[in-house]
Amino acid sequence: MTLEAALPILAVMAAASYFQTITGFGLGMIAVGAASGLHLAPVATIAMLASLVTLANSAMALPGKLHHIDWRAVAFATIGILPSVVIGVLALEYLSRAASGMLHFVLGAVVMYGGITAAFRPAPLQERSSNGSFLMSGVFGGVLSGMFGVSGPPLIFQFYRQPFPLVGIRCALIFIFTVTSSTRTAFNAWQGQISRETLTLALVAVPVVALATLIARAWPPPLSLKASRRLAYGVLMLIGADLMLPTVLSVFN
């Protein structure tokens, strides 16, 4: 890959890393979305690159802040995610193309509805949710990841509703998505699916991602907890719209 082709990808990774550091999510979503919309590189390559640089982002974002995390919540969510990813992959294999498209649309509608309703009520819950609810958010996140590569919405919604400090929410989500990225990366490496070009680009991207993460830690935007929640729920609405769009367009084609 030439330098001219790599620079826009590195810029996207830097922006995505900054956003993930201040919110706890979004690196993969922004990277894949920008790559697809701007035709920077094959989506599969960018998805793998996002998984690799997520490790660098977490290595810079989490040190010194792990004590803010509710580890029981993270543990139950992770327990739900890992096995349910396989369920999602298997379920997709048994769905017809039409059924898959309809499920995509329904998922998008549910995510958008959740984002809209939560955005108008950004105040957190009065009490922490049960461990079982974190487990279920992980299960739903894992199934969606296996079927559509979108694990974030249930986890984002679950954690941003909690009466946790913002730093605890951000770090918990970064840690969970790091676990899923590590698992995905290890599996792809075992299958020999990481190309030399992707690995080289990841090595070049690491210092860029590290710098963007350090900047986000040192100079985060002046957002209140309520504004941060509204930002998170606004992103959920965008994810929902993006999931619904292919089905809507297919109706008119």
> For a pLDDT cut of 70, what percent of the chain falls above it?
93
The least confident of 8-12, 193-197, 249-253 is: 249-253
User: Are the CB atoms for 164 and 171 separated by under 8 Å?
Assistant: no
pTM reported for the whole predicted model: 0.82
pLDDT for 123 equals 75
Q: What is the DSSP letter of 121?
A: -
The least confident of 31-40, 166-175, 237-246 is: 31-40
pLDDT for 162 equals 92
How far is it, in rounded angstroms, from Cα 251 to Cα 231? Answer: 31
Secondary structure of residue 220 in the 3-state scheme: coil
Greatest alpha-carbon pair distance for the chain in Å reads 53
pLDDT for 73 equals 96
Secondary structure of residue 35 in the 3-state scheme: helix
pLDDT for 48 equals 81
For the segment 103-109, the average pLDDT, to the nearest whole number, is 76
User: Are the CB atoms for 42 and 48 separated by under 8 Å?
Assistant: no
Close Cβ partners of 33 (under 8 Å, ≥ 6 residues apart): 242
Burial 221-250 (b: 16+ CB within 10 A, else e): eeeeeeebbbbbbebbbebbebbbeebeee
User: Are the CB atoms for 231 and 221 separated by under 8 Å?
Assistant: no
Q: What is the DSSP letter of 161?
A: T
Angle 97-119/152-160 helices, nearest 10 degrees?
A: 20
> Kind and range of the H or E element at 54?
helix 43-61
For the segment 12-29, the average pLDDT, to the nearest whole number, is 86
For residues 251 and 71, the model is more confident at 71
Give tens-digit pLDDT for 138-174. Answer: 998 888 777 766 667 889 889 988 999 989 999 999 9
Give tens-digit pLDDT for 67-85. Answer: 999 999 999 999 999 888 8
- Virtual CA dihedral for 25, 1, 204, 184, nearest 10 degrees? 40
pLDDT for 36 equals 64
Of the chain, the end-to-end C-alpha distance in Å amounts to: 35
How far is it, in rounded angstroms, from Cα 117 to Cα 230? Answer: 11
